[in-house]
């Protein structure tokens, strides 16, 4: 298809995903294979654009123009010079967000985000679908959680968003490192959990496991879980038990299982593996093994 289009539009460009800084004198589209293709607007009539939009998804590259505040932060991160640093009044944290590509107009996203906080928060865009929100630590009684923000935006903007929430920082020292580590971590954590809002505290075990070299990782999974490594049903039971803070009643309720059957299943696991999942350090080992398996 792309070759055929190129015969018609000589200016046609193709990028794989993740390409930033797309030329704004071009019209951009996403193909079914997730390639981004662009055609010089000079070469297109409005009829062409409508026609292309019937089988390609138009791709919106308009990022909001950065505010002074946003430029200041960006500069502090990117520049090694200490002159780039500025005074900050409160502690702050970075919150990474990622939206499914092409589900949203960044300007609309910005408008909605601003309404959720007491004053407009700086947003540093990485590209059209991910970036960092900078939130000052304040004590507003009517502030809302990122779990809520995720659900509000899902209803209002029809987008699924992941948030990764960083720790609070009191100064701009090492801000570049903070920024890069946060983005790196954010790109990894969502492999290990299907939660859509994850904090840096939740993420510690994920990041540890992610650091381990793959051979050892798969070895941990195998040696700990032994013959259960492919027993999805038992592993699901154990995972739920861990998520329910080792509480039998709660786990039985969530799994809709009888207490006794649950006890029995855990006892069997103990007999076969020697691991007593009711004890903290055994539970922790199994938890890491489950993560290692993912």
Partner 1 sequence: MADLKLVNIRKVYDKDVVSVKDFSLEIRDKEFLVLVGPSGCGKSTTLRMIAGLEEISGGDLFIGGKRVNDVPPKDRDIAMVFQNYALYPHMDVYNNMAFGLKLRKFKKDEIKKRVDNAAKILGLEDLLTRKPKALSGGQRQRVALGRAIVRDAEVFLMDEPLSNLDAKLRVQMRAEIQKLHRRLQTTTVYVTHDQTEAMTMATRLVVMKDGYIQQVGAPKEVYDEPNNVFVGGFIGSPAMNFLNGRLEENYFVMDDVKILVPEGKMKYLREQGYVGKEIILGVRPEDIHDEPLFLDFSPETKIKASIEVAELMGAEIILYSKVNDQDFVARVDARFSVAAGETVDLAFDLNKAHFFDKESELRIK
Dihedral through CA 241, CA 245, CA 246, CA 248, nearest 10? -70
Question: For residues 286 and 224, is the Cβ–Cβ distance under 8 A?
Answer: yes
To partner 1, the closest distance from the beta carbon of 155 in angstroms equals 5
17 binds partner 1 (CB under 8 A): no
CA 224 to CA 246: how far, in whole Å? 18
CB-wise, 43 or 231, nearer to partner 1?
Answer: 231
Two tokens at 95?
């919150």
125 Cβ contact partners less than 8 Å away, ≥ 6 residues apart: 63, 64, 106, 131
CA 14 to CA 33: how far, in whole Å? 12
Tell me which of 47, 256, 271, 281 binds partner 1, using CB under 8 A. Answer: 256
Question: For residues 221 and 294, is the Cβ–Cβ distance under 8 A?
Answer: no
Q: How far is CA 65 from the centre of its chain?
A: 24
To partner 1, the closest distance from the beta carbon of 142 in angstroms equals 4
Tell me which of 2, 51, 154, 204 binds partner 1, using CB under 8 A. Answer: 154
CB-wise, 82 or 155, nearer to partner 1?
Answer: 155
Tell me which of 147, 173, 174, 267 binds partner 1, using CB under 8 A. Answer: 147
Q: What is the DSSP letter of 169?
A: B
CB-wise, 117 or 168, nearer to partner 1?
Answer: 117
**Bridge partner residues of 133 (DSSP):** 95, 123
**Interaction residues for partner 1, span 77-116 (CB under 8 A):** 100, 102-103, 108, 111-112, 115-116
Q: Minimal CA–CA distance to 172: which of 96, 72, 95?
A: 72
82-90, 128-136, 141-149, 210-218 -> range binding partner 1 (CB under 8 A): 141-149
CB-wise, 149 or 238, nearer to partner 1?
Answer: 149
**Binding footprint of partner 1 on the chain (CB under 8 A):** 57, 100, 102-103, 108, 111-112, 115-116, 118, 140-145, 147-152, 154-160, 194, 236, 240, 254-256, 294
């Amino acid at each position: 298809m792309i070759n055929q289009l190129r015969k018609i539009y000589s200016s046609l460009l193709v990028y794989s995903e993740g390409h930033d800084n797309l030329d704004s004198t071009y019209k951009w589209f996403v193909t079914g294979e997730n390639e981004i293709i662009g055609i010089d607007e000079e070469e297109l009539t409005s009829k062409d654009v409508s026609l292309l939009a019937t089988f390609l998804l138009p791709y919106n590259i308009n990022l909001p123009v950065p505010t002074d505040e946003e430029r200041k932060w960006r500069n502090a991160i990117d520049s090694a010079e200490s002159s780039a640093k500025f005074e900050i009044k409160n502690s702050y944290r970075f919150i990474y967000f990622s939206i499914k590509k092409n589900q949203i107009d960044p300007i609309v996203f910005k408008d909605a985000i601003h309404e959720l906080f007491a004053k407009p928060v700086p947003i540093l865009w990485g590209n059209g679908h991910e970036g960092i929100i900078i939130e000052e630590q304040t004590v507003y009684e009517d502030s809302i959680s990122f779990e809520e923000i995720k659900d509000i935006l899902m209803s209002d903007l029809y987008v699924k968003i992941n948030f990764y929430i960083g720790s609070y920082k009191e100064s701009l020292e090492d801000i570049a490192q903070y920024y890069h580590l946060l983005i790196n971590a954010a790109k990894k954590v969502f492999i290990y959990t299907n939660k859509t809002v994850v904090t840096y505290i939740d993420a510690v075990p994920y990041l540890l496991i992610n650091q381990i070299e793959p051979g050892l990782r798969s070895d941990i999974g195998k040696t700990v879980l032994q013959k259960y490594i492919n027993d999805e049903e038992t592993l699901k039971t154990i995972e739920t038990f861990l998520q329910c803070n080792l509480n039998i009643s709660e786990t039985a309720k969530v799994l809709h299982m009888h207490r006794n059957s649950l006890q029995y299943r855990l006892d069997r696991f103990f007999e076969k593996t020697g691991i007593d999942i009711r004890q903290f350090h055994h539970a922790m080992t199994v938890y890491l093994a489950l993560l290692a398996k993912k």
